[in-house]
């Protein structure tokens, strides 16, 4: 049986006529940067999340970078985040000369553990970046309360959770700034790199828009040192089409994720724990297995693709050795990183395919 880890081709075929038409309109207009397609997308993203401002940018990584730049975070500052995430979260902190201060994760959700945050806050701490990993939001109310108490800013790294809900509110609209990615494999994916920032702070929104366009407040007049972080019109056109269908895809993702968990209930694996009041968009459907290499080999032999997100926590990466962390400093992140593995997941995964995958896991 042919099974794709993420079935982007099936999605394209489902929306092909709409996508082709929208992209060809960009070609015909020859307006490849900014313009009507981007304006439409930003309006739709703001409406979808409930944030006052949605600002398209070139990638999820650049969204995180721009958020930190907008807050004037730099050398000597500290930013609290999780070691169990993709490198981009901490990479942008280091890029600006600031220091990542890691906090271990909750063993059930794999998101940052709010109960461990206050003990690492210092007079150098400027912000907290919780990551909403695998499609489920971090405990944002608890994190926001800690931030308010200590005068800190919260940036939600929602690069995997666009479309998820936390206590009735959409991811990306849960803190001062939300950042997301539209990398092709994300729940809402472009056909290249793309991302967005979300805020209801007018001043921050204005500053971010300048920063992503070389710091310009008007053409050839630069208020800030910025970057080229613009979102191109072709990606905006693709996202405009996909966003129209996204609610249906979220429902499909939830049904497929829930069905996986039901089918695997009696298997020797740990399935995702979705907190009451939360929904997940299952950017990945990730299980924990004691003998991961054995399981991966077994599934590979049966034609079932898998992936590992993430095999090495950030505090053990060579790039961050200057932070002075050692093996054993974040035991939950380290344990999960040795057991986690992701199964095929997309709104187009059929029940037949899912049954085959589950049987492969349970079989000898």
The answer to whether residues 233 and 255 belong to one domain is: no
Domain of 89 in residue numbering reads as 8-103+110-244
The single-letter DSSP state of residue 102 is E
The answer to whether residues 254 and 240 belong to one domain is: no
Mean pLDDT taken over the chain: 98
Residue at which a domain ends, from 224, 244, 264: 244
The answer to whether residues 141 and 204 belong to one domain is: yes
The answer to whether residues 240 and 288 belong to one domain is: no
Say if 1 falls within a structural domain.
no
Percent of the chain past pLDDT 70, that is, above it, reads 100
The pLDDT of residue 1 is 87
Over residues 283-294, the pLDDT tens digits come to 999 999 999 999
The answer to whether residues 239 and 260 belong to one domain is: no
The answer to whether residues 234 and 252 belong to one domain is: no
The answer to whether residues 221 and 254 belong to one domain is: no
Angle value at C-alpha 258, between 346 and 286, nearest 5 degrees:
60
Over residues 226-246, the pLDDT tens digits come to 999 999 999 999 999 999 999
The two beta strands, 78-81 and 340-343, are: unpaired
The answer to whether residues 298 and 198 belong to one domain is: no
**Quick one: which of 154, 156, 179 has its CA closest to 54?**
179
Q: How many CB atoms lie within 10 A of CB 40?
A: 16
Is the pLDDT score of 364 beyond 80? no
The answer to whether residues 284 and 226 belong to one domain is: no
Residue at which a domain ends, from 191, 221, 244: 244
Is the pLDDT score of 203 beyond 80? yes
Asked if the bond preceding 310 is cis, omega within 30° of 0, the reply is yes
Percent of the chain past pLDDT 90, that is, above it, reads 99
CATH of the domain at 189: 3.40.640.10
How far apart, in whole angstroms, are the C-alpha atoms of residue 161 and residue 310?
16
Residue position matching structure tokens 């307006």? 31
The pLDDT-based confidence of 298 (bands split at 50, 70, 90) is very high
Written as six digits, the tokens of 342 are 């992701």
CATH of the domain at 319: 3.90.1150.10
Average pLDDT over residues 305-329: 98
Instruction: Give yes or no for a contact between 240 and 40, defined as CB atoms under 8 angstroms apart.
Output: yes
The answer to whether residues 97 and 208 belong to one domain is: yes
**Quick one: which of 160, 157, 107, 155 has its CA closest to 275?**
107
The answer to whether residues 143 and 206 belong to one domain is: yes
Average pLDDT over residues 20-29: 98
Say if 252 falls within a structural domain.
yes
Cα–Cα distance list, 175 to 125, 130, 208, 323 (Å): 17, 10, 16, 27
Total domains present in the chain = 2
Over residues 110-161, the pLDDT tens digits come to 999 999 999 999 999 999 999 999 999 999 999 999 999 999 999 999 999 9
Instruction: Give yes or no for a contact between 192 and 185, defined as CB atoms under 8 angstroms apart.
Output: no
Is the pLDDT score of 100 beyond 70? yes
Over residues 303-313, the pLDDT tens digits come to 999 999 999 99
Say if 279 falls within a structural domain.
yes
How far apart, in whole angstroms, are the C-alpha atoms of residue 284 and residue 151?
34
How far apart, in whole angstroms, are the C-alpha atoms of residue 35 and residue 237?
11
| Sign (positive or negative) of CA dihedral 184, 276, 84, 229 | positive
Please enumerate in sequence order all residues whose Cβ is within 8 A of that of 361, keeping only pairs 6 or more positions apart, or say none. Answer: 264, 267, 269, 295, 298, 299
The answer to whether residues 227 and 343 belong to one domain is: no
Residue at which a domain ends, from 244, 271, 296: 244
Say if 139 falls within a structural domain.
yes
| Sign (positive or negative) of CA dihedral 84, 87, 93, 98 | positive
The pLDDT-based confidence of 105 (bands split at 50, 70, 90) is very high
């Amino acid at each position: 049986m042919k099974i794709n880890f993420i079935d982007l081709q099936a999605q394209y075929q489902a929306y092909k006529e709409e996508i082709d038409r929208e992209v060809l309109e960009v070609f015909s207009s020859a307006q490849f940067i900014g313009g009507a397609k981007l304006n439409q997308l930003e309006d739709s993203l703001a409406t979808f999340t409930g944030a006052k401002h949605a600002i398209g940018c070139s990638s999820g990584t650049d969204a995180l970078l721009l958020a930190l730049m907008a807050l004037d975070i730099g050398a000597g500052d500290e930013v609290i985040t999780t070691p169990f995430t993709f490198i981009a979260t901490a990479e942008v902190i280091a890029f600006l000369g600031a220091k990542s201060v890691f906090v271990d994760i909750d063993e059930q959700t794999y998101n940052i553990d709010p109960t461990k945050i206050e003990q690492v806050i210092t007079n150098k701490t400027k912000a907290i970046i919780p990551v909403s990993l695998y499609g489920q939001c971090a405990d944002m109310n608890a994190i926001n309360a800690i931030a308010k108490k200590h005068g800190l800013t919260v940036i939600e790294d929602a690069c995997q959770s666009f479309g998820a809900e936390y206590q009735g509110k959409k991811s990306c609209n849960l803190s001062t700034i939300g950042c997301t990615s539209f990398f092709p494999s994300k729940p809402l994916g472009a056909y290249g790199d793309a991302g967005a920032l979300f805020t209801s702070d007018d001043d921050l929104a204005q500053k971010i828009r300048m920063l992503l366009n070389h710091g310009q407040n008007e053409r050839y007049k630069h208020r800030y040192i910025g970057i080229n972080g613009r979102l191109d019109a072709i990606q905006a056109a693709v996202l405009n089409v996909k966003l129209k269908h996204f609610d249906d895809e979220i429902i499909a993702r939830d049904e497929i994720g829930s069905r996986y968990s039901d089918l695997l209930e009696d298997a020797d694996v740990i399935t995702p724990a979705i907190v009451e009041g939360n929904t997940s968009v299952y950017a990945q459907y990730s299980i924990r297995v004691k003998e991961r290499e054995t399981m991966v080999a077994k599934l590979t032999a049966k034609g079932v693709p898998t992936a590992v997100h993430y095999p090495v926590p950030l505090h053990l990466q060579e790039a961050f050795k200057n932070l002075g962390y050692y093996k054993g400093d974040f035991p939950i992140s380290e344990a999960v990183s040795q057991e986690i593995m992701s199964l095929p997941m997309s709104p187009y995964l059929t029940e037949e395919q899912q049954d085959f995958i589950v049987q492969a896991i349970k079989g000898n």
